[in-house]
Amino acid sequence: MARPKASPGLRAERRRSAPRLATALTLGLLAVLAVGPTWASAATPDPDPVVVVTDPVSEPEATTSEEPPPTEGPTDPAPTDPAPETTAPAPETTPPAPVTTAPDVPPAPTITAPAPGGQPTAAPPVPPTPPVPPVRPPASGPVPPPSPLGVQVTTHDVTLGEAYWNTASTATTLQVTVHNTGTTLQRIRLSYKLPAGLSDAGTKGCTAAGADTYRCGAWTAEAGARFSALLRLRVDGDAWRQMPLAGSVQVVAEAPGVPGEASDDQGFAVLFPPGPPVPGIALAADEVAFDISGTASILALRLGNTGSVDAAGRVEVVLPAGVTVPTPPAGCVAVDPTRTRCDAGVVAAGRTAELRLPVEATPEAQREAPLSGAVIGLLDPRSGATRQVQMSFRITAAAALATPVVSPPAPTGSQGVLPGGAAGDDGGMTSVRRTAIILIAVSALLVVLALTLATISLRRRLNGPAPGPAPNPVD
């Protein structure tokens, strides 16, 4: 029996079904394209993260009754640029062929034009060009990815006013600013060391750890966040006798799932006004600043005679460890490595003597800046009592700000890394990314559903009875 031929109506129906199938496929593709920009924008991290600074959590050794140090309102972080992409250099395929030089052949001598009436003379031979050694490129290797950790701390100075000389002790504050310079959420701990004559005046959340060192709780800060804390300090009334005085602040940062930790420290100076106040004498000292080259700087001093009688002047400069006067100028002598004595000569009444001393600092001392030095001024008049005052001055260095933050690798079984279930750690899957994935899955299901419905409809039409009268069977 021959297979019946499709009627014209069936062929027309098939032609009508083809556009419907194309329409369904087009709708599915449009759904995917519509979701694409949404997914792209949802998966892109916010270039300006919101600052979320929590109260510091006390360390295990701290008691629960202590509160965290007071913090100023967190400032808006500067926009965080994405981490620079580092790519490993392409591996060397074949070493370059060594450079070969031809054997040294002395060049043929050239004949210079003779002087009138003289014989031709040969020019001196040109020395051969020395062979150039082959240049070997540096060995290439994989470049380790940059660490997402980073932290920076900056400090202000403890500056005392004239009222210091009228009290038995002075309460003051030290402002510390911490900046999360990394690219991830970090847990930042803070500690500080005070010089002799200074003590903590009850900073909340900080406890004594021995050797004039105090440890505070921890803050959780987003990438790029910057916040400040105020440390309450007390300066003894006789601390000026031990100047110069300086302390330091250290911060340590760690992140969940990231090996190692980042740290930074900076010093702070304790600056006393000239005193104890004595009539008839004035003293001033400028700040010493070392530039990025680390070369010697100049310390300028001024000793003034505000009395009515001429007096012989003398100045002594006391510097911190690592800072020295390499070559004392005329009239100055080094008493010891950190103390220099200068004769200012006779200072007439109402006049001021100025001295300038070169000062050098070791790289270690520059990295610990800001530091402080002390200067002692003395006037010995022909008649009357000797007058003496002293003050401190600030020492800064650009190297302290240019020192990179070091992130050493974590030792085996490192302690202090937050557990994987800590806040902000969900295996790298954020809510925005989860939403984008869900939208893509829904779009894919819609496309599959449209294709399935179109296929089922087409099969039903192909397998159903043909419209119109049935054809007669052919024997």
Strand partners, 285: 301
Token pair belonging to 368: 């610990």
pLDDT (0 to 100) of residue 85: 40
Tokens 């100075």 sit at which residue?
157
Phi, psi angles (nearest 5°) of residue 141 = -160, 170
d(CA 172, CA 208): 18
Closest CA to 416 of 258, 264, 266: 258
The burial of 350, by beta-carbon neighbours within 10 Å (0-12 exposed, 13-18 middle, 19 or more buried), is given as exposed
Distances (CA, A) of 85 to 82, 143, 182, 260, 458: 9, 11, 15, 21, 52
pLDDT classification of 431: cutoffs 50, 70, 90: low
Q: Give yes or no for residue 191 having a pLDDT over 90.
A: yes
pLDDT (0 to 100) of residue 216: 92
User: Which of 130-139, 312-321, 328-337, 437-446 has the lowest average pLDDT?
Assistant: 130-139
Q: Of residues 72 and 349, which shows the higher confidence score? A: 349
Task: Please tell me the number of Cα atoms within 13 Å of 394 on its side-chain side.
Answer: 16
For residue range 10-25, list pLDDT tens digits in order: 455 555 555 565 565 6
d(CA 147, CA 142): 15
Tokens 């369904």 sit at which residue?
24
pLDDT (0 to 100) of residue 449: 82
d(CA 81, CA 49): 11
Which residues have C-beta within 8 Å of that of residue 372, sequence separation ≥ 6? Answer: 243, 244, 245, 246, 269, 270, 271, 320, 392, 393, 394, 395
pLDDT (0 to 100) of residue 60: 38
Please give the full DSSP string across 33-72, using - where no structure is assigned. HHHHHHHHHHHSPPSSPPP--PPPBPPTTS-TT--PPPBP
pLDDT classification of 441: cutoffs 50, 70, 90: confident
Phi, psi angles (nearest 5°) of residue 461 = -70, -35
For residue range 309-328, list pLDDT tens digits in order: 999 999 999 999 999 999 99
pLDDT (0 to 100) of residue 96: 42
pLDDT (0 to 100) of residue 13: 54
The pTM of the full predicted model, rounded to 2 decimals, is: 0.55
Token pair belonging to 331: 């009239």
pLDDT classification of 249: cutoffs 50, 70, 90: very high
Token pair belonging to 125: 């031979």
Q: Give yes or no for residue 273 having a pLDDT over 80.
A: yes
Alpha-carbon Rg for the chain in angstroms: 40
Kindly state the helix (H) or strand (E) to which residue 108 belongs, with its residue range. Answer: none
For residue range 373-394, list pLDDT tens digits in order: 999 999 999 888 899 999 999 9
In percent, the amount of the chain with pLDDT more than 70 equals 60
d(CA 198, CA 429): 48
Kindly state the helix (H) or strand (E) to which residue 220 belongs, with its residue range. Answer: strand 213-221
pLDDT (0 to 100) of residue 411: 34
Helix (H, G, I), strand (E, B) or coil at 139: coil
Judge whether 367 and 335 are in contact, CB under 8 Å. no
In 396-415, which positions are buried (b, 16+ CB within 10 angstroms) versus exposed (e)? Answer: bbebbeebebebeeeeeeee
pLDDT (0 to 100) of residue 21: 55
pLDDT (0 to 100) of residue 293: 82
Q: Of residues 405 and 277, which shows the higher confidence score? A: 277
Angle subtended at Cα 178 by Cα 172 and Cα 180, rounded to the nearest 5 degrees: 175
Q: Give yes or no for residue 345 having a pLDDT over 60.
A: yes
Pairing verdict, β 352-361 and 323-324: antiparallel
Q: Give yes or no for residue 245 having a pLDDT over 80.
A: yes
For residue range 76-118, list pLDDT tens digits in order: 433 334 343 444 444 444 444 444 444 444 444 444 444 444 4
